Structure 1
Amino acid sequence: MRRWPLLASVVGAALALAVLQVPSGAAAATPLTVAQAIGQQAGASATVRGYVVGQPTATNTVVTSAFPSDYAIALADAPGETSTARMIYVQVSSGFRADYGLMSNPDLMGDRLDVTGSLSAYFSHPGLKSPTAFAPAGGTTPPPDDDDYYRSALGLTGPALKAELHDIISTGARLSYDQVWDALKATDQDPANANNVILLYSGRSQSKTTNGGDANDWNREHVWAKSHGDFGTATGPGTDVHHLRPEDVSVNSARGNKDFDNGGSAVSEAPGSYTDADSFEPRNAVKGDVARMIFYMAVRYEGTDGFADLEMNNSVANGSAPYMGRLSVLLAWHAQDPPDAFEQRRNQVIYDRFQHNRNPFVDHPEWARAIWS
């Protein structure tokens, strides 16, 4: 579990002495941005503030998953930065690796740090070497204001609102299916135990490391069943984390590709969930979550990017057609179970750290009725 030490013990005395030498009433120096640090590579000591965006492994290569070591991190001024030209490479010396190395702390991705060290090239790239302090800078990218992210959609209803939201949320990054594993470990982290994820239908808190395909492992549940539109695990709808959730292997199998509706027999290992031959009902605590994920998919994928136009209907026999039902039941679940703190945090983590787009029905629940009334 990652800790947040303000200073490493090996340098505590030296830094304390430095503090004593600051004149009384002097203001602390403002940390440099990454852009400023890139332009000041002359060996001076400085504190740089930036978001962790990956691990440098070569001059022009930064990996964002499957981290090979704890020796380095890359910082940028934006959490979604992908250009190495706008990153600074930070050496993580031995005293800081347990807490700030990415192999040991993959959930560090997207966090904002202040790092003090020497402004010197690392991996033949603008860098920060021989660090003397790491500390969380506090905060991630704030939720966008309506006047920012959703500006063009405000005041619209019906098809016009749906079309505008599609344009807004269709920007951002796409993950590979392998990257989804790491994303879910962050998006669905148990608020009470950072080593675990919460399984969607089961509600069980389970170790992040038990992902896989064996009995009692958790795997990647496609809430919009991937056969409904035949998109499989293709990058795009098949890897969109806004509708992918951790779930017990056997429960995932029990849901299969069924539509959503009320009723059926109790699902083993998913208390409060029910299923029959053609439908699945999730537990009450996530009924609204399921509905809003389906709403998102029906807006995000409109047949304009090589995939099927995904839509909702009132059927529970949609098979491989690009439809999910029942719309009337999903709207009722949406009203019954409004967005909670877990779902709101999940939406923010996806925006900050992974896809850089949002589920508008988590931010604006009223828009579901405005489109599908």
Structure 2
Amino acid sequence: MNTKSSIRSGPRRLAMAFALVVVLVAPVAVTAAASAATTLTVAQALAAQDGRNATVTGYVIGQPTSATTVLRSGFTSDTAIAIADTAAETGASRMLYVQVSAAYRSTFGLLTNPGLRGQRITTTGTLTAYFSHGGLKNPTAMTLGGTTPSPSQSPTPVPTQSPTPVPTPTTPGGDYDSTYYATAIGKSGTALRGSLHSIIKVQTKLSYDQVWEALRDTDQDPANSSNVILLYTGRSQSKTSNGGGVNDWNREHVWAKSHGDFGTATGPGTDVHHLRPTDVSVNSTRGNKDFDTGGSPVAEAPGCYTDADSWEPRNAVKGDVARMIMYMAIRYEGTDGWPNLELNQSVNNGSAPYHGKMSVLLQWNQADPPDTFEKRRNQRIYERWQGNRNPFVDHPEWATAIWG
């Protein structure tokens, strides 16, 4: 009996030992699986540059070209994107550089899809340095939003977004409220002003020569792609008839460049958000006058009026003018070597960094809300030229929230 008992105890001990190993190993396997399934933030991905495979979600900021440079417009290739935890991020050190491999370039490359900027994406790949910067390489999945397909799935197509439709005033800001304007939503007064300045100051700066080409795009006649619409006259004119001759069109600084004496140097002097094509003679007649109502009719610009110190544009662009002036007052706050531009109640500002008349501009903003032409213009500047938006085109009510 003792012998039989001894022989049988061996298999029992082996079975018990095997069961114990299974119990001990199983929780470890479950934990590892749970960890692999977790989606990381950009900050977590930047802290885990160890070659692991991971899934990361973030907002598309632009195209990285070096360890410290990220293009936000004027994209040059489809091979890389920079993402961050907030759509308004400006520091490259807080961005993850993502390689866009050939399989994903047609849908996630910024040269082909500039409207992807500001959107939330999720990607899976290897966390390792890219452009000598924290990165994700060799992606096996890329998709819009927060759902990541399995590596065997093909990339999710990106909807056509050139140009991305801009919401009507009944849904101001639209998708940009949760991305581009995220830090400004719910604020008013000085807090709103400060947030908007921080958002829109991030831009690509154009040369004065580049402005010609930008205006041919931003002010294109919707009924004739060979023409631009002139601001004060409303005349449709050939894109190539620009210059200084009679009946040519030139670059009008809606915020008169002498108001702050910034001229045509790169910065406020080349900011397309307030530069518009205008008839050469009409531009000269307007000069550097402030905006107000009244005066004598301008023969070459029906609907416009002027006197010794003020200019009244035609009704169809009164709101456009107001929102361009408001943009300049928020964008240029005395930093980067530029003057602190501001609205006031004067129509005799001369070379001071002020533009009036504030009460009239606020009225024009309300009386003439953004139309399709103005909204398309804002979108083109954002997508193709400067990478920033005029917040008063997306949210006209913010003018009253700041100045009213």
On whether the aligned pair clears a TM of 0.5, the verdict is: yes
What residue number does 2:279 align with? 248
Distance in 1 between residues matched to 2:264 and 2:397, nearest whole Å = 31
* Correspondence 1:211 to 2:242: yes
SS at match of 1:197: strand
* Correspondence 1:222 to 2:253: yes
What residue number does 1:193 align with? 224
SS at match of 2:183: helix
* Correspondence 1:347 to 2:378: yes
Distance in 1 between residues matched to 2:245 and 2:81, nearest whole Å = 34
Assess, with a 3 A threshold, how the Cα gap between structure 1 residues 362 and 323 changes in structure 2: closer, same or farther: same
Assess, with a 3 A threshold, how the Cα gap between structure 1 residues 160 and 202 changes in structure 2: closer, same or farther: same
What residue number does 1:104 align with? none
Choose from 329, 333, 354 the match for 2:360. Answer: 329
Letter matched to residue 344 of structure 2:
N
Assess, with a 3 A threshold, how the Cα gap between structure 1 residues 285 and 77 changes in structure 2: closer, same or farther: farther
Choose from 70, 75, 78 the match for 1:76. Answer: 78
Choose from 290, 308, 311 the match for 1:280. Answer: 311
Choose from 266, 270, 273 the match for 1:239. Answer: 270
Assess, with a 3 A threshold, how the Cα gap between structure 1 residues 111 and 329 changes in structure 2: closer, same or farther: farther
Deviation at 1:357, TM superposition (A): 0.1
Distance in 1 between residues matched to 2:112 and 2:219, nearest whole Å = 16
Please report the TM-score for the alignment, with normalisation by the length of structure 2: 0.60
Assess, with a 3 A threshold, how the Cα gap between structure 1 residues 292 and 111 changes in structure 2: closer, same or farther: farther
Distance in 1 between residues matched to 2:179 and 2:398, nearest whole Å = 17
Distance in 1 between residues matched to 2:101 and 2:201, nearest whole Å = 25
Q: Is the 8 A contact 1:251 1:268 kept in 2?
A: no
Deviation at 1:182, TM superposition (A): 0.1
SS at match of 2:177: coil
Q: Is the 8 A contact 1:111 1:140 kept in 2?
A: no
Q: Is the 8 A contact 1:79 1:352 kept in 2?
A: no
Choose from 165, 176, 180 the match for 1:145. Answer: 176
Aligned residue pairs total: 260
Deviation at 1:112, TM superposition (A): 5.0
Deviation at 1:141, TM superposition (A): 6.2
Residues 211-254 of structure 1, C-alpha deviations (whole Å, 9 max, x = no match): 10111000000000000000000100000000000000000000
Deviation at 1:303, TM superposition (A): 0.2
Deviation at 1:187, TM superposition (A): 0.1
Letter matched to residue 358 of structure 1:
R
* Correspondence 1:297 to 2:299: no
What residue number does 1:17 align with? none
Choose from 257, 262, 265 the match for 2:296. Answer: 265
Deviation at 1:86, TM superposition (A): 8.3
Letter matched to residue 140 of structure 1:
S
Distance in 2 between residues matched to 1:78 and 1:278, nearest whole Å = 51
Q: Is the 8 A contact 2:77 2:111 kept in 1?
A: no
Deviation at 1:332, TM superposition (A): 0.4
Assess, with a 3 A threshold, how the Cα gap between structure 1 residues 87 and 358 changes in structure 2: closer, same or farther: farther
Letter matched to residue 344 of structure 1:
K
Letter matched to residue 338 of structure 2:
F
Assess, with a 3 A threshold, how the Cα gap between structure 1 residues 79 and 334 changes in structure 2: closer, same or farther: farther
Letter matched to residue 259 of structure 2:
H
Residues 46-195 of structure 1 aligned to structure 2 (within 5 Å): 75-76=77-78, 138-140=160-162, 142=164, 144-195=175-226
Q: Is the 8 A contact 1:153 1:161 kept in 2?
A: yes
Distance in 1 between residues matched to 2:223 and 2:287, nearest whole Å = 29
SS at match of 1:213: coil
Deviation at 1:305, TM superposition (A): 1.2
Choose from 331, 339, 344 the match for 1:313. Answer: 344
Distance in 2 between residues matched to 1:170 and 1:202, nearest whole Å = 31
Deviation at 1:268, TM superposition (A): 2.1
Assess, with a 3 A threshold, how the Cα gap between structure 1 residues 110 and 265 changes in structure 2: closer, same or farther: farther
Distance in 2 between residues matched to 1:354 and 1:333, nearest whole Å = 27
Deviation at 1:111, TM superposition (A): 6.4
Deviation at 1:139, TM superposition (A): 2.5
SS at match of 2:384: helix
Which portions of structure 1, spanning 4 or more consecutive aligned residues, are displaced by more than 6 angstroms?
A: 77-80, 85-88
* Correspondence 1:356 to 2:378: no
Letter matched to residue 234 of structure 2:
G
Residues 32-89 of structure 1, C-alpha deviations (whole Å, 9 max, x = no match): xxxxxxxxxxxxxxxxxxxxx9xxxxxxxxxx99xxxxxxx96436899xx9x9899x
Q: CA RMSD of the aligned region, Å?
A: 2.8
**Residue ranges of structure 1 left out of the alignment (5+ in a row):** 1-52, 54-63, 66-72, 89-108, 114-136
Distance in 2 between residues matched to 1:355 and 1:230, nearest whole Å = 22
Distance in 2 between residues matched to 1:331 and 1:208, nearest whole Å = 32
Assess, with a 3 A threshold, how the Cα gap between structure 1 residues 312 and 79 changes in structure 2: closer, same or farther: farther
Assess, with a 3 A threshold, how the Cα gap between structure 1 residues 323 and 87 changes in structure 2: closer, same or farther: farther
Q: Is the 8 A contact 1:227 1:320 kept in 2?
A: yes
Deviation at 1:138, TM superposition (A): 3.6
